[in-house]
Amino acid sequence: MAGRIEKLEELLASTPHDNTLRYMLAMECDRLEETERALTLFCELMEQVSPYVPAFVMAGQLLVRLGRLDRARAIFQAGIKAANLQHQNHAAGEMKEFLRRLTN
Protein backbone atom coordinates (compact mmCIF):
# COMPACT_ATOMS: atom_id res chain seq x y z
CA MET A 1 0.00 0.00 0.00
CA ALA A 2 1.32 3.38 -0.97
CA GLY A 3 -0.49 4.76 2.09
CA ARG A 4 1.99 3.08 4.43
CA ILE A 5 4.96 4.50 2.56
CA GLU A 6 3.45 7.97 2.58
CA LYS A 7 2.76 7.76 6.33
CA LEU A 8 6.30 6.54 7.07
CA GLU A 9 7.78 9.29 4.89
CA GLU A 10 5.68 11.86 6.73
CA LEU A 11 6.85 10.58 10.11
CA LEU A 12 10.44 10.44 8.91
CA ALA A 13 10.26 14.03 7.67
CA SER A 14 9.49 15.18 11.20
CA THR A 15 12.11 12.92 12.80
CA PRO A 16 14.79 12.38 10.12
CA HIS A 17 17.25 10.62 12.45
CA ASP A 18 14.82 7.91 13.54
CA ASN A 19 16.51 4.69 12.46
CA THR A 20 13.49 2.57 13.27
CA LEU A 21 11.29 4.60 10.92
CA ARG A 22 13.92 4.50 8.16
CA TYR A 23 14.20 0.73 8.62
CA MET A 24 10.40 0.34 8.51
CA LEU A 25 10.30 2.39 5.32
CA ALA A 26 13.01 0.21 3.77
CA MET A 27 11.11 -2.92 4.74
CA GLU A 28 7.90 -1.55 3.25
CA CYS A 29 9.70 -0.65 0.02
CA ASP A 30 11.13 -4.17 -0.12
CA ARG A 31 7.67 -5.65 0.47
CA LEU A 32 6.31 -3.60 -2.44
CA GLU A 33 9.26 -4.69 -4.60
CA GLU A 34 10.78 -1.21 -4.73
CA THR A 35 14.10 -2.97 -4.34
CA GLU A 36 16.51 -0.22 -5.32
CA ARG A 37 14.87 2.24 -2.96
CA ALA A 38 14.91 -0.36 -0.19
CA LEU A 39 18.62 -0.96 -0.79
CA THR A 40 19.32 2.77 -0.68
CA LEU A 41 17.53 3.08 2.65
CA PHE A 42 19.29 0.03 4.08
CA CYS A 43 22.65 1.47 2.94
CA GLU A 44 21.91 4.76 4.69
CA LEU A 45 21.35 2.80 7.90
CA MET A 46 24.52 0.74 7.42
CA GLU A 47 26.72 3.78 6.76
CA GLN A 48 25.95 5.58 10.00
CA VAL A 49 28.56 6.12 12.72
CA SER A 50 26.71 3.47 14.72
CA PRO A 51 25.38 1.19 11.97
CA TYR A 52 21.86 -0.19 12.29
CA VAL A 53 22.69 -3.91 12.31
CA PRO A 54 19.31 -5.29 11.14
CA ALA A 55 19.81 -3.35 7.90
CA PHE A 56 22.81 -5.55 7.03
CA VAL A 57 20.72 -8.69 7.49
CA MET A 58 17.87 -7.45 5.32
CA ALA A 59 20.07 -5.85 2.65
CA GLY A 60 22.09 -9.04 2.34
CA GLN A 61 18.96 -11.15 1.98
CA LEU A 62 17.54 -8.74 -0.59
CA LEU A 63 20.76 -8.88 -2.60
CA VAL A 64 20.68 -12.69 -2.53
CA ARG A 65 17.12 -12.62 -3.92
CA LEU A 66 18.34 -10.28 -6.67
CA GLY A 67 21.23 -12.61 -7.50
CA ARG A 68 23.88 -10.06 -6.47
CA LEU A 69 25.82 -12.61 -4.48
CA ASP A 70 29.21 -10.88 -4.32
CA ARG A 71 27.60 -7.75 -2.92
CA ALA A 72 25.53 -9.84 -0.49
CA ARG A 73 28.70 -11.52 0.79
CA ALA A 74 30.35 -8.14 1.34
CA ILE A 75 27.28 -6.83 3.18
CA PHE A 76 27.14 -9.89 5.44
CA GLN A 77 30.87 -9.63 6.20
CA ALA A 78 30.53 -5.95 7.11
CA GLY A 79 27.40 -6.71 9.09
CA ILE A 80 29.14 -9.39 11.14
CA LYS A 81 31.83 -6.87 12.09
CA ALA A 82 29.25 -4.23 13.00
CA ALA A 83 27.20 -6.74 15.01
CA ASN A 84 30.26 -7.94 16.90
CA LEU A 85 31.25 -4.36 17.76
CA GLN A 86 27.76 -3.76 19.13
CA HIS A 87 27.64 -7.12 20.94
CA GLN A 88 24.69 -8.26 18.85
CA ASN A 89 25.64 -11.92 18.85
CA HIS A 90 22.36 -13.23 17.47
CA ALA A 91 22.54 -10.97 14.40
CA ALA A 92 26.21 -11.85 13.88
CA GLY A 93 25.37 -15.55 14.04
CA GLU A 94 22.52 -15.14 11.58
CA MET A 95 24.75 -13.38 9.08
CA LYS A 96 27.53 -15.97 9.53
CA GLU A 97 25.01 -18.65 8.61
CA PHE A 98 23.80 -16.70 5.55
CA LEU A 99 27.44 -16.20 4.51
CA ARG A 100 28.21 -19.89 5.03
CA ARG A 101 25.30 -20.84 2.76
CA LEU A 102 26.57 -18.49 0.06
CA THR A 103 30.05 -19.99 0.09
CA ASN A 104 28.85 -23.62 -0.16
Closest C-alpha among 90, 87, 22 to residue 59: 22
pLDDT at 103 over 90: no
Where does the pLDDT of residue 2 fall: very low under 50, low under 70, confident under 90, or very high at 90 and above?
A: low
pLDDT at 24 over 80: yes
**What's the CATH architecture for 2-103?**
Alpha Horseshoe (1.25)
CA distance 34 to 50: 26
CA distance 10 to 5: 8
pLDDT at 97 over 80: yes
- State the pLDDT at residue 86: 97
Buried b / exposed e along 77-94 (16+ C-beta atoms within 10 A): ebbbebbeeeebeebbeb
Over range 4-8, report the average pLDDT.
Answer: 94
pLDDT at 82 over 70: yes
